Structure 1
């Protein structure tokens, strides 16, 4: 994948932090850049007839509804299992959204560039802004809410925010310095939880982080890998998976103490993982789709005929994966020809 010169010096090798900027068509805010991306527009995201073709960067379920977010504040909703999508009625910010989470069928949050955090109380139909910082583009890459009050958002250079009041106020967490480093400056690129509420962050430099207290304190879990992890999940049997650059996927069955590399039969970067029961599906660049029926111990790889740059997926209520890409909503392969 060509990033058209958008990965500048301080983003080199930093995985999805640069990829997200490139996918969104924004300029990097790294040292040496000529300027920041355009400041977010404090007005509803433009309603476009081709909204379903916009770059989508994250997707999740809100009850039976699928909610996907992406470029220019576009939020897409599907109430028929992904067969069709429509744009949200109102989004107050024209900025790239990188992550979305729901505590239930109504209460949801999205995060993105310029440190923006948006909130919805009606399943994604309308959104209000809870946080933003137009003085610096320090993007948030992932957000997760445990319930309607407790949430965590993470982003560039070890930025971690926590809330205990549903996002009305956010507090910055001072992160510990990783062993052998001079400061805490890892890009934190994905969030996922296990069934006991333990929170994990996928990060660069082959690192996974774990918090047992909803984001207030963190421990580093080195995997032995040196590249960036963009995504992860906890399988039904408790195994932890982290995936990212060049088809890299690592698995731990002892809460992150030791890790083994899983062969994905691919060098295409993995952008998202999701599961329904024991079924795990991963997607990636170059049309990569990974499937596992054994809690991530092994995967079968396939490549879509259109080689679409897949960026996100969510399972519908029927347990079928709905895919998203740089070009928006992805049709099933047999309909894309």
Structure 2
């Protein structure tokens, strides 16, 4: 399990420098899981990995448990109360008050007050125990005894190694049903808003334990994307079957388009479109050889892909076109504010592009 330090995955690479000092040993992991995020000055200049809308409020998640809130479309920010100090990798809200964030050390945080305060629902130690219990419980029922026994052995190592595996993505369909995924194929679902969690590892066709970087819904279907071109789909929200991959490189982001198709972004500017019901995604011409890190659906129906050179590309039929000049800053996340402006997250903090700048170049 030590290949965590050798990941080629972009999102994990973003988070590792933040978390490495904290995850040096089990004691350090315990410290960050039990230590609230520190209050810092000029927090908006810290490293941030993701952004979300909570009604008209913006919520940014980043290093060392930092969560910032803005009620003026990203012009000013203030720090929220967070009970852990691990790097956060993704955040989502299902309504103006109810949201979740995931991150390193296997943390899942929840809020019911629009991000003002957060509670810890799951951590890597408990997640490892849940996976071991599930692997042992499902062992006698397995059709592939060798694979099932290998899963038990992997789960035993997870327990031994402690809370050093990150969650990298999440998707909640409502205030109760959600799925979180991460490194080594780890996946957990809840049906009660996170009061309880169950391992979903055994329900995903991922025998190599490939890292899962993105999860999204396409109509009634659920889609997963990860390293080495991994794609999987669930028709019932329970069992995921691997899809034929159009590409051997890692995928980092999934986003729906107005036509119902799913936009997939990955390494070196490779992007694909999966049409509703299709089994194979179609490639888009590479617009720039820079890895994509996030995608955002705009109010006007366009979907933008964000890359690590600070570029934003609009997804049009059969192609990607620059939506505006590159910012010159590595970007990890984007969200459209209530006033239509675009708010961006990355290594250099949070920034805002006014509405007039957000228009596609034909």
Please indicate, yes or no, whether the TM-score normalized by the shorter chain is above 0.5. Answer: yes
Between stretches 12-21 and 144-153, larger displacement belongs to 12-21
Q: CA deviation at 1:262?
A: 1.0
Cα distance between partner residues in 1 of 2:244 and 2:61: 30
**Match among 82, 98, 114 for residue 123 of structure 1:** 114
What aligned pairs does 1:161-172 form with structure 2 within 5 A after superposition?
161-172=188-199
Going by fraction, where is helix more abundant, 1 or 2? 2
Give 1:314's aligned residue: 335
Matched, 1:268 2:293: no
Question: 9, 23, 34: which one pairs with 1:15?
Answer: 9
Displacement of 1:259 after TM fit?
Answer: 2.0
Change (3 A) 1:41 1:50: farther
Q: How far did 1:283 drift?
A: 1.1
- CA-atom RMSD, angstroms? 2.5
The residue that corresponds to 2:100 in the other structure is: 109
How many residues align? The count is 315
Please say if residues 341 and 353 of structure 2, whose CA atoms lie closer than 8 Å, have aligned partners that are also in contact.
no
TM-score, normalising length: structure 2: 0.80
Paired residue for 2:273, among 237, 251, 256?
251
Q: Distance in 2 between matches of 1:37 and 1:100?
A: 26
Shift of the alpha carbon at 1:96? Answer: 0.6
Q: Say whether the 8 Å CA contact 1:13–1:228 is kept in structure 2.
A: no
1:143 matched residue in structure 2: 170
Matched with 1:3 is none
- Per-residue CA shift, 1:112-145, capped at 9, x if unaligned? 1111011111000011111113523111001111
Residues 28 and 36 of structure 1 are in contact (CA less than 8 Å); yes or no, is this contact kept in structure 2?
no
Structure 1, gaps ≥5 residues long: 1-7
1:68 aligns with 2:60: yes
The residue correspondences of 1:190-269 to structure 2 (distance < 5 A) are 190-194=214-218, 196-214=219-237, 216-269=238-291
SS of structure 1 residue aligned to 2:312: strand
Match of 2:20 among 7, 26, 29: 26
Question: What is the CA deviation profile of residues 203-239 of structure 1, one whole-angstrom value per residue up to 9, with x for unaligned ones?
Answer: 111122222333x211212332001001011211111
Query: Closer, same or farther in 2 for the Cα pair 1:56/1:37, shift >3 Å?
Result: farther
Are the counterparts in 2 of residues 274 and 315 from structure 1 also a CA contact under 8 Å?
yes
User: After superposition, what is the alpha-carbon deviation per residue over 1:48-97, rounded to whole angstroms, capped at 9, x for unaligned?
Assistant: 11210111111111111111101000011111122222211x10000011
Report the Cα distance in structure 2 between the residues aligned to 1:106 and 1:228, rounded to whole angstroms. 33
- TM-score, scaled to structure 1: 0.85
Distance in 1 between residues matched to 2:286 and 2:339, nearest whole Å: 26
Q: Unaligned 5+ residue runs, structure 2? A: 126-161, 358-362
Asked if residue 279 in structure 1 is aligned to residue 264 in structure 2, the reply is no
1:289 to 312, 316, 325: 312
Change (3 A) 1:9 1:37: farther
Please report how far the alpha carbon of residue 332 of structure 1 lies from its aligned counterpart in structure 2 after TM superposition.
Answer: 3.8
- Equivalents in 1 of 2:107, 2:190: separation in Å? 14
C-alpha distance in 2 between matches for 1:46 and 1:227: 37
Deviations 1:169-220 (A, max 9, x none): 1100114445xxxx240111012223x3422222111122222333x21121
- How far has the Cα of 1:27 moved from its partner? 6.1
Residue from 84, 88, 93 that aligns with 1:93: 84
Distance 1:176 1:118, change over 3 A: closer
Structure 1 residues 274 and 97: CA distance shift in structure 2, 3 A: same
- Equivalent-residue separation in structure 2 for 1:234 and 1:257 (angstroms): 16
- Asked if the contact 1:243–1:270 (Cα under 8 Å) also holds between the matched residues in 2, the reply is yes
Map Cα deviations across residues 246-297 of structure 1 (whole Å, 9 max, x no partner): 11101122434122211242111100001124211121112222123x3x53
User: CA–CA distance in 1 between the matches of 2:21 and 2:35?
Assistant: 21
Q: Distance in 2 between matches of 1:311 and 1:274?
A: 11
2:318 and 2:22 map into 1 onto residues whose CA distance is 37
